[in-house]
């Protein structure tokens, strides 16, 4: 747990560094998070950041640590580069969107979010795929891979659901095959490729996390919907190969 005073200090630091992105390392010392500021070495510090990895290693000194950086002009969700950077290391990432008052903090963490029903839509952190991943972890004890993704990847040339389902251990069901709990409905919502997926709960019900027009929307919570309502958008069904019945 990070104490409120640490958040206050991080926000003050990030606002002082604005319009540049602020970077820091949080190191756990005697069960308390200690703040170590890092210089942003990027050529364009207002839109990106770069830090000295040797410096991080020296400061961390084998202790538990979190990496912090700020988004001076938003957005309130990780960028594609953020997700790549987070996945390359083993530290949790703390990001602050200081374009809003008060600053919005969110974590790109290696732990699993266990609350499946109350979570804001935050692309890359708690989005439709995160829900499926956390659901599979909780219900089937299956670890699905994480994918670095940027908001609106479906219109930026990526086709993640179509390209990755096989490597994640899923196979496509034939038309008319009976469904079982945990099957995944692939949907295309206002896009040129499959950009949304939902979990089949049986009895005609889907469980999913819809996005709105924004990568961060606290009002969009995971929801149950009769599958009939989404039938026109469903392009196919997937099943995990270990869930063959």
Partner 1 sequence: MARSDRLGYDRSYRASQEALIELYILSLGDGQVFRMVSDTDFTGIVSFAGKAFAASQIVASGFRWQMPGAAVRPSLDIQRPAKPLLAAAHNGQLEGAVMQRIATFASELDAPHGTGGQSCFMPEDWPVNRYTRLQDSRLQIELGSIAGFEGKFLPGRVMFSDFCQHRYRQYDVRTKGFDYHNATCPYTDSRYFTAEGVQTKNPAEDSCSLRLESGCKKRFSAALPFLGFPGVRR
**Min dist. Cβ of residue 141 to partner 1 (A):** 24
**Min dist. Cβ of residue 167 to partner 1 (A):** 23
Stretch that binds partner 1, among 13-21, 56-64, 113-121, 202-210 (CB under 8 A): 202-210
Set 208, 209, 240, 241: catalytic member? 208
Contacts of 64 (CB under 8 A, 6+ apart): 27, 28
Q: Give the total residue count for the chain.
A: 245
Tokens of 126: 């708690």
- Binding flag, residue 111, partner 1 (CB under 8 A): no
Residues 134-163 that bind partner 1 (CB under 8 A): none
Strand partners, 245: none
**Min dist. Cβ of residue 225 to partner 1 (A):** 6
Q: Is 193 among the residues known to form the active site?
A: no
Q: In what order do the strands lie in the sheet with 205-208?
A: 170-172, 234-240, 184-187, 196-202, 205-208, 223-226
Q: Is 128 among the residues known to form the active site?
A: yes
- Binding flag, residue 8, partner 1 (CB under 8 A): no
3-state secondary structure of 130: helix
CA distance 139 to 110: 18
Set 69, 71, 123, 196: catalytic member? 196
**Min dist. Cβ of residue 112 to partner 1 (A):** 25
- Binding flag, residue 229, partner 1 (CB under 8 A): yes
Closest CA to 215 of 38, 109, 83, 117: 83
Contact 208, 196 (CB under 8 A): yes
- Binding flag, residue 224, partner 1 (CB under 8 A): yes
Binding site for partner 1 (CB under 8 A): 192, 203-205, 223-229
- Active-site residue set: 128, 196, 208
């Amino acid at each position: 747990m990070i104490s409120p005073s640490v958040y206050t200090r991080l926000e003050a630091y990030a606002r002082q560094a604005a319009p540049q992105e602020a970077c820091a390392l949080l190191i756990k010392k005697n069960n308390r998070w200690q703040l170590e500021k890092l210089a942003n070495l990027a050529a364009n510090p207002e839109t990106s950041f770069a830090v000295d990895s040797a410096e991080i290693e020296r400061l961390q000194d084998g202790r538990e640590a979190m990496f912090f950086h700020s988004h001076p002009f938003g957005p309130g969700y990780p960028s594609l580069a953020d997700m790549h950077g987070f996945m390359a290391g083993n530290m949790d990432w703390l990001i602050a969107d200081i374009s809003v008052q008060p600053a919005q903090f969110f974590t790109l963490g290696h732990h699993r979010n266990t609350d499946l029903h109350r979570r804001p839509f935050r692309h890359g952190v708690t989005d439709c795929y995160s829900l499926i991943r956390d659901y599979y972890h909780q219900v089937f004890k299956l670890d699905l891979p994480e994918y670095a993704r940027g908001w609106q990847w479906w219109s930026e040339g990526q086709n993640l659901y179509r390209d990755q389902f096989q490597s994640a251990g899923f196979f496509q069901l034939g038309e008319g095959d009976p469904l079982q709990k945990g099957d995944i409905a692939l949907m295309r919502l206002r896009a040129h490729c499959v950009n949304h997926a939902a979990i089949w709960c049986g009895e005609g019900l889907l469980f999913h996390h819809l996005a709105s027009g924004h990568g961060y929307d606290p009002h969009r919570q995971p929801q149950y919907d009769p599958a009939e309502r989404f039938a026109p958008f469903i392009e196919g069904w997937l099943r995990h190969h270990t869930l063959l019945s």
